[in-house]
Amino acid sequence: MLKSSPDRYDAIPITIHWLAAIPILLALGSGFQAGNAVEQAVNAGFLLIHIPAAIITLLLTAFRIIWWWFIDKKPLPMRGMPGRQERLARGVHLAFYVVVLGMVFRIPPG
Tell me which residue of 5, 4, 21 sits closest to 13, measured CA to CA: 4
CB 104: neighbour CB atoms within 10 A? 18
Q: What percent of the chain has pLDDT over 70?
A: 95
Residue 78: its pLDDT value, please? 82
Mean pLDDT, the chain, whole residue set: 88
Amino acid 104: pLDDT:
79
Is the confidence at residue 110, as pLDDT, over 70? no
Domain spans in the chain, listed from the N-terminal domain onward: 11-104
Average pLDDT on 54-80 reads 88
The answer to whether 53 and 29 have CB atoms below 8 angstroms apart is no
Query: Residue 75: which residues within 8 A CB-CB, separation 6 or more?
Result: 4, 5, 6, 7, 8, 9
